[in-house]
Chain A
Amino acid sequence: MKALLATVISLGLTTVVIGNAYYQKKQFYPSIVYLTNSNPSMAVMYLQAFILVLLVGKLLRKIFFGQLRPAEFEHLIERSWYAITETCLAFTVFRDDFNPKFIALFTLLLFLKAFHWLAEDRVDYMERSPVIGLLFHVRILTLLMLLAHADFYFIHHAYQFTAVKGPSVQLVFGFEYSILIIMIVNILIKYVLHAIDSRWEAPWESKAAVLLYTELAINFLKVLLYIGFVAVMVRIYTLPLFAFRPMYETMRSFKKAYNDVVLSRRAIRNMNTLYPDATPAELAAADNECIICREEMHTGAKKLPCNHIFHAACLRLWFQRQQTCPTCRLNVLRAPAPEAAGAPGPAPPAPPLVGLPPHVAPAPPPPGPVPPPFPNMPPPPPMMAWGMPPPPPLRARRLLPTSPPRSCSAWRAMSAGTLKPGYKYSIQYLPCLSLQLLREIQAMLDASVLLMQQYSTVVANLPQNNVTVSTQTETRIEELIKESPISTTQGKSEPDVVPTTSSYKQPSPVPSTSKTIVTEDTSPMQPDTTTPVDTNRDKTDVDAADELRRRRLQKFALDK
């Protein structure tokens, strides 16, 4: 309605202006001169031309696209505003060439650009629309042909013009149309891929990969073009401000495409090389169903570091989009390989201390290598007595990827079991997230406590270097048993937990039920209760502890 009104008004104004000119000058040529010399008349003429362009645009849109979807329309409007602003910026650089022809060329450029954008949106939509008729193919192909021809023509024109008359505003046009022709190539590739995909009965697994690489190549070309253009413009004119926003966006999307390619390649390579194939026992434990395709897994199943099992083919497709575990969203690229996490064996038994469960009492470390960290060990106190520094950051890193995802899945399993409409709909992952965060913080705290303790032991042990490492450990543990009831109770609960957490090494025949997971859930939390006690004691009275230790040592020697 508004558009119709504007058209009618503009048409009326134009008639009035032309009629007036003709009425005053009576002849064709003088009236043209009169029109071009009068600013108000020219304004009316410009308005009329603008509305004509819009009308032609609408007509072409009807022919090639039919009705626009709301999303397409919004997209078009948004991009148009950016383009218009940038065109105005471009005018400032070429203000000396400012004339009607110049404006007409820029309008034409904008006009063609709009159709490129629409074609791109339409082809992207192909993937999601259920039925694609013959009309769609005819429309898109004709449009792409026409646009490609127009682009070629203008590039050619710009090249000729620049070659003959030297650099001018045609540089900008040549460059803009080159960008557009790259866009056409991109659209065409996407179109062909989607068209092939819709013809095939079977899912086309490599389509996503091809799309990824196409995007990378196209963005690379664009970045090259932009850099070249800016360089040329800086040499000949001045800084082309109007090209900066699109250049920045192209670079960003190039970077993103590059990252996507690299990350998905890495994730897929990790999957192929590092992650173990799931064994039949593990498959049975996981209901034998791949949660991506909801089909049974017999062969070709892979186990992620978080112990979730999927079809390798399903995982590959998902990794091309995201490099996370579909179930617990563990970032597979940041997680260490399962071999590394599973490598340290269970604690070797400590012969002199029979009364203690083996996991609480670590053996005296061998003199050479760094003692392996145990996932379950109540961490700081026994380690503190070791002569050499155990690697705290390593411990922290290993604790993280093994435990949190499992507890997430536990949470999920529980929530799935008791799913009632009342539960919060969009925050179902939040508990996992916050748990994971808490764990990370806790692991860091653990590490710092460990360091602190090592420091204090080193300081405390300075005067008596003759004491051997092993006796130190034993006394320290003895002291521990006497002093803190927590660690002994913890020792008792230990065997429950062991099978699930160390299941990297020994695939547990029993599926991890919610009960075991719950017990495991609490185990990483235990250091929270034990460590503060130790830190406080160690920080406050290092000297007293030192004295105590010395006395105990003496007593120990006497007992023997």
Chain B
Amino acid sequence: MAGSALRRLMAEYKQLTINPPEGIIAGPINEENFFEWEALITGPEGTCFEGGIFPAKLHFPPDYPLSPPKMEFTCEMFHPNIYADGRVCISILHAPGDDPMGYESSAERWSPVQSVEKILLSVVSMLAEPNDESGANVDAAKMWREDREQFNKIAEKIVRKTLSLD
């Protein structure tokens, strides 16, 4: 099934292994199935997520790269753009047709020129600068806006958890 998707995923995997971006590791969970990836993302420096190492999973559709993959964090997360179950909600992961939040223009949506690397970099900058207008996690968005201190505390707790310090 889907030979071109497989070849493209292999090419991206190769690229990521040869030339990995800073603070990001990603690859297939096992090399039998290239449509399920896992990734490790380090929290961006100078933010409340600094120092954390966040594991995530990426699910690729059979018609990748025409359709976007899905991404979810497998650790506990508290962030305005991450659903409580870990799913990541950013515009470049949405196909131009659907608009779950009804605010994104099609110019910032998925297109085949995006790649795993770009997605992960976008997620890193999302960690650094949440978009509190699209509340995937309304509680987190509210707290980010109104009670930053509390938000930072929770983020720090999560960071410690990902490092197994607690």
Residue in B2, B21, B107, B113 whose beta carbon sits within 8 Å of that of A430 in the complex: B107
A320-334 interface bits toward B, Cβ cutoff 8 Å, 1 = contact, 0 = none: 011010110100000
A432–B105 alpha-carbon span in the complex (Å): 13
A326–B108 alpha-carbon span in the complex (Å): 12
Among the stretches B58-66, B72-80, B139-147, B153-161, the one at the interface with A is: B58-66
Contacts of A202 in B (CB 8 A): 3
Residue in A200, A293, A432 whose beta carbon sits within 8 Å of that of B7 in the complex: A293
Q: Judge whether A426 and B91 touch: CB under 8 Å.
A: yes
A202–B122 alpha-carbon span in the complex (Å): 32
Among the stretches A43-51, A221-229, A417-425, A473-481, the one at the interface with B is: A417-425
A428–B118 alpha-carbon span in the complex (Å): 11
Q: Given known contacts A201-B1, A295-B11, A421-B124, is B33 in contact with A130 (CB within 8 Å)?
A: yes
Within 8 A of B (CB), among A189-218: 197-203
Contacts of A295 in B (CB 8 A): 7-8, 11
Q: Judge whether B125 and A424 touch: CB under 8 Å.
A: yes
Cβ of B35 within 8 Å of any chain A Cβ, yes or no, is: yes
Q: Judge whether B111 and A430 touch: CB under 8 Å.
A: no
User: Helix, strand, loop or mixed for chain A's interface?
Assistant: loop
Q: Judge whether A432 and B107 touch: CB under 8 Å.
A: yes
Q: Judge whether A421 and B128 touch: CB under 8 Å.
A: yes
A130–B37 alpha-carbon span in the complex (Å): 13
A293–B5 alpha-carbon span in the complex (Å): 7
Q: Judge whether B61 and A128 touch: CB under 8 Å.
A: yes
Within 8 A of A (CB), among B91-134: 91-92, 95-97, 104-108, 111-113, 121-126, 128-129, 131
Cβ of A538 within 8 Å of any chain B Cβ, yes or no, is: no
Q: How many residues of A contact B (CB 8 A)?
A: 37
* A310 vs chain B, min Cβ distance (A): 9
Q: Judge whether B12 and A294 touch: CB under 8 Å.
A: yes
Q: How many residues of B contact A (CB 8 A)?
A: 45
Among B3, B107, B112, find the residue whose CB has the most chain A CB atoms closer than 10 A.
B112
Q: Judge whether B4 and A425 touch: CB under 8 Å.
A: no
Within 8 A of B (CB), among A400-456: 419, 421-430, 432-433
Cβ-closest chain B residue relative to A289: B11
Q: Given known contacts A318-B112, A329-B111, A426-B92, is B8 in contact with A198 (CB within 8 Å)?
A: no
Contacts of B71 in A (CB 8 A): none
Q: Judge whether B123 and A425 touch: CB under 8 Å.
A: yes
A202–B7 alpha-carbon span in the complex (Å): 11
Q: Judge whether B5 and A428 touch: CB under 8 Å.
A: no
Contacts of A321 in B (CB 8 A): 66, 95-97
Contacts of A200 in B (CB 8 A): 1
Cβ of A498 within 8 Å of any chain B Cβ, yes or no, is: no
Contacts of A432 in B (CB 8 A): 107
Residue in B5, B11, B108 whose beta carbon sits within 8 Å of that of A427 in the complex: B108
Cβ of B53 within 8 Å of any chain A Cβ, yes or no, is: no
Task: Using CB atoms and an 8 Å cutoff, list the residues of chain B in contact with chain A.
Answer: 1-5, 7-8, 11-12, 21-23, 33, 35-36, 44, 59, 61-63, 65-66, 90-92, 95-97, 104-108, 111-113, 121-126, 128-129, 131
Given contacts A202-B3, A326-B112, 5 further A-B contacts (CB under 8 A): A201-B1, A291-B113, A292-B65, A295-B11, A429-B108
Q: Would you mind naming 7 contact pairs between A and B with Cβ atoms under 8 Å apart? A: A197-B62, A203-B4, A292-B66, A322-B96, A329-B111, A421-B124, A425-B90
